[in-house]
Structures are given as structure tokens and as C-alpha cells.
Amino acid sequence: MTRWWLTAALAVVAASGRIVVPLTVQYALDHALLDESAQDRTTVLIHSVLVGAVAVAIAGTSSCLLNRRLVSFVETALAALRERAFEHMFRLSPASVATIGTGTLVARLTGDIDTISQFTRAGGITLVINVSQMIVAATVMFVFSWPLALLVIGVTGVTVVLMRLIQRVVARRFAVVRVEVGALYDGMSDLVNGAEMIRAFGAGQKYETRVGDLVERTRRAQMNTQLPLNFNASLGEAASGVITSAVVVAGAAAGAGYLGWIDLTAGQLVAFLFLITFFVRPMQFTVSMLGEAQSAVAGWRRVQELLAEPVETVSDDDGVALPDGGIALHLSGIRFGYDASSTALEIPELHIDAHEHVAVVGHTGSGKSTFAKLLTRQLTPTEGVVSLASVNLSRVAPASLARRVAIVPQDAFLFDRTVAENIAVARPEATHSEVMDTVRDLGLDDWVRGLPAGLDTRVGAHGEALSAGERQLVALARTALVDPDLLVLDEATSGVDPATDVRVQRALLRLTKGRTTVTIAHRMITAENADRILLFEDGKLAEQGTHEELAASGGRYASMFRAWTAMNTL
């Protein structure tokens, strides 16, 4: 509370110091320059100048201290907002991330918060001093002449009401601007991430046109905000002119004896005109900052929308840790749909023993990836329960889940760091020797020795310095370093050159040994080597059994295996 009182006191002192200047002008005029009976005009003028100079110095010092306090408060608050937004983003479900869009997320985490920061630094802090100045100026004007003060306040009040009406239009249009900026971020993100594919297919012109359309839509949205903003600025200038003219006319009329209820000396009239400037200029500044303010408000609302997105309800504090030992899986009454009207996956009952290696096969869209995501809580079932080691997956603590369950996607994401740093992503405290031991345990030490700088080789942005197969080797080593009990390999062995495939298969054999493993298999050889095969078709578990059982059954799997065998004998 003391901090806020000190901040308020600094704002009042900074504003009052400025108001002292017109008061010293009034005193000099009435008691020296225009007072024929004054005895020592020089002394009065010197005193007035000194008082004004001291007041300006105090006001300037107070403004500096106030700015420092407010900047510190604002930047601390924005830093906390950034951290909160990033923490919230990491707790969003993959489905929410896909719905929002990567570009929009980036826009909210960076652009929207930057907009708030720029506004507070450029004008928001000055706004605090200006509001204080308006209050002090209005108080002094009432002391000089309450009728003229009411005139100033009345015209200003009408102006503010009109500005408020226009402000609503501005707010709606700036909300559209932030949406268009988010769409532009999405488009630019797609263009950058897909640049290689776009060049390969000669589709550059098409995507340039698409991004150009997004840029044009953003430009139009920005331009739509300018008309009401410019009208507001003109309205502020007009109000200032009307107020000044009215006071001058009223003062002249009072001096001529036409308005006896206005009693002002010449010095007070001049000071009053100064006070009008000190009252109206802050209002004009507020108008000039209206665009930035509305943009900042729109950015704030979008950040709040992000923070309102639902996240995992379980935390490490109230979650349940998975028991030690192997992890068995059990699914009961599972139904999942990406929307309320559809069902993407339906599994009445399924059990996977601890240490069992299960291969999941099926055509594209059969439900394989959905099944894998349900096992790792990337998706939450619409109905039913997924249990890991007899613990409801929805109640497992995030830290325990991350430590005991690992996912190896088809195309693992790599940071623009060294191979060692990418392997140690989940265990940043791991030493260089621990990373090398993990690589050696997977039989990948010969591959590492062949790299330009071994484990210290930089992989480039998104791992572009490595081949697709090498990126998978890094992903497998990353998983092995965590030492999980449940592995979910989602298409982890596709798109690999023959030489690297040998290393991948060797690493997989060592990695999956003694662990519960669910592999989304794209090659029949992977399914053939599994303990059990699950075949999904149209979102349902159509067949399950060993390779020998399903191949001899004459069902869907047998047809797939015959087709694969025929293709490989050509």
C-alpha cells in the first residue's frame, strides 16, 4: 500500500509542479508588470522566475522517479504475464494447439504482449502524469472562476462522450486487426516451414499470392481503424479551439463589464488560458494514444483468451505417481470424437501386458494415431477410461507421466543446438559422459564418431543438418536417456535410408527390450516381429493376435500381408 501512496504522491507533485508555472505568470502580471502601484517590480519578477524554476525542477525530478517506478512495475507485470502465458501454453492439449494455430499462438505470446509493452512504455506511463495534471489544472481553474471552469469541463465532457462512442467502433476494428495479424502469422509460419516443399513443387507463386492476400487483409483492417482515429484527433483539436475562444471572449466581456459574475484580473485570465492548455493538451494526447491503447486492449483480450483455454486439470501436487515397475495398459469403454457429432475411435475393451510389444496397423484414417495419442494423454477420451499400471491416466501427475512414458514421433523436433543437447532435452542436467553412455548402449557410437564434431555437432534449425533417419536416431537416444517404462513409437521407422535403417532397427531392439511398447507400424516386418498386432479399421479394433494367427485367419491383416509380400518380391 505504501508503494502505491508514494507513486500517487509523485504523480501529484509532478503535475502540480507544472501548474505552478501559470501561477507564477499570474503573480508577475498582477503584482509587477500590470500593477502601477508596485514598488519593487524587479524583485517580484525574480521571485516569480525562481519559484517557477524550482517548481519545474521538482516536477521534472518527480516525473523521472515516477517513470522509473511505473516502468519497473509494468515490466515486472508483463514479465509475469509472459511467463504465465508460456506456462499455460505448455499445458494446452495438442487438440487445443491445433485449433488455435501455431501462428496465432506465436502472435499472442509475442506480438500481442509486445503491443501491450510498447503502449505502456510509449504513452501509458505519460498518461498517468497527464491525468494527474488534468485534475490539478481543473481544481485551480475552479479557484479562479467556477463559471469558466464549468464551461471548460462541459465542453470537454461532451467531447469525451463523443470520443467514447467513437472508441467503441475503434475497439471493434482493432479486434479485427489482431485477428488478421494472427492469420498472417499462421500464413507466414506455413510459408517458412514449408519453403522446401513449395520450391520443390514450384508452388511459390500460389503461396506468395496467398500470403499477399493475408497482408492485404491486414492492411485493410489497419486502414479501417484510421478514419475514426483521425476523427477523434480532429474532435480534440476542435474542442481545444472552442474552449480557448470561449474563455477569451468571456474574459474580454467581463473586462468590459458585460459579465459581472466573472471576476478575473488580467493575470488570472492569462493564467486561466495556460491552465486550459494544461487541461486540454493531456486530453489531446489521450486521443492521439487512443489507437495504441485500443490495440493494446485488443492484445490484452487475446492473451486473456489464450489463458482461458482449458488445460490439464491434474497437477503434480494433486496427481498420482505411477507405481514402480512395468506398465500395463487397459482401455475400457473408450469412445473418442474430434467433435460431438462424430466418432473417430471406439474400443470396448483392450488390455496390453507390461513388457509386451504391440504393433498397430491399419490404413490411413483408421484410428492408429488417435489410439497412440489417447495412450499418452495428448487426447482425452470422450467416454471411457485409459489406465496405466491400474491408475486412471487422467489422474496421473504430469511429471510422473513425462518420466515414465515416452513418445517417439515420425519426425522428431530438434532444436538448433548440438546433438548432445538435443538428446538431453528431457534431462538437461545429464553429463556428456551419460549422454555418450546412452548412445553406446543403443549401438550408435559408430554413427556419433562419424559426425563432424561428434556429440558437439550442431544439427541446424529443425535438425536440417541431419537426414530424416539421423533425426530419428537422436530421438531414440533422447528417449533412452529418460529410461521410460512405456514407449509409444508413432511412425518412428518410416522414411529412413537403408544404411541408417540398420542403426534404427538395432537401436529399437535395444530400446524396447523390457519395456511396454506400442508401435504404429507402417511396414509389415515391424508388425511381424511384435508380440501382438492390433488392426484398426474405420475407428474400430477389427483384429488382434500374433502375426502367425492373423496371417492364417484370412482376414484383413492377411490381405495386407499378402499385398506387402507381393510388392517386395517384384
Does the pLDDT of residue 99 top 80, yes or no? no
pLDDT band (50, 70, 90) for residue 294: confident
- The whole-number pLDDT of residue 144 equals 83
Does the pLDDT of residue 90 top 60, yes or no? yes
Of 83 and 99, the one with more pLDDT: 83
Can you give the pTM of this predicted structure? 0.64
Contact 352, 329 (CB under 8 A): yes
Average pLDDT of the residues in 400-404? 90
What secondary structure letter does DSSP report for 322?
P
Average pLDDT of the residues in 534-546? 93
Does the pLDDT of residue 327 top 90, yes or no? yes
For the record, the C-alpha cell of 484 comes out as 521410460
Does the pLDDT of residue 1 top 60, yes or no? no
- The whole-number pLDDT of residue 105 equals 77
- The whole-number pLDDT of residue 479 equals 92
Output the average pLDDT for the chain. 83
- The whole-number pLDDT of residue 496 equals 67
pLDDT band (50, 70, 90) for residue 351: very high
Does the pLDDT of residue 504 top 80, yes or no? yes
CA distances to 90, 179, 299, 462, 547 from 106, in Å: 13, 13, 12, 17, 46
Exposure string (b/e) for 112-143, b if CB count within 10 Å is 16 or more? Answer: bbebbbebbbebbbbbbbbebbbebbbebbee
In the block, residue with C-alpha cell 521407422: 493
Burial class of residue 329, CB neighbours in 10 A (0-12, 13-18, 19+): buried
pLDDT band (50, 70, 90) for residue 38: low
Does the pLDDT of residue 98 top 70, yes or no? no
Of 491 and 83, the one with more pLDDT: 83
- In 461-555 the beta strands, taken as DSSP E runs, fall at 486-490, 516-520, 532-537, 540-545
Average pLDDT of the residues in 7-15? 77
Average pLDDT of the residues in 532-543? 94
Q: Which of 30-44, 183-197, 357-371 has the highest mean pLDDT?
A: 357-371
CATH of domain 329-569: 3.40.50.300
Contact 305, 386 (CB under 8 A): no
Question: What is the per-residue pLDDT across 46-62, written as a single tens digit (0 to 9) for each?
Answer: 887 888 788 888 878 88
Does the pLDDT of residue 165 top 60, yes or no? yes
Does the pLDDT of residue 173 top 70, yes or no? yes
**Lowest-confidence pick of 37-41, 56-60, 133-137:** 37-41
Does the pLDDT of residue 258 top 70, yes or no? no
pLDDT band (50, 70, 90) for residue 389: very high
Angstrom distance (rounded) from CA 484 to CA 314: 21
| Domain 146-263: CATH superfamily, name plus number | ABC transporter type 1, transmembrane domain (1.20.1560.10)
Q: What's the gap between Cα 227 and its chain centre?
A: 29
Does the pLDDT of residue 438 top 90, yes or no? yes
Of 298 and 385, the one with more pLDDT: 385
Give the list of residues 6+ apart from residue 21 with CB closer than 8 angstroms, or none: 52, 55, 56, 274
> Where do the domains of the chain lie?
1-144, 146-263, 329-569
Angstrom distance (rounded) from CA 470 to CA 220: 46
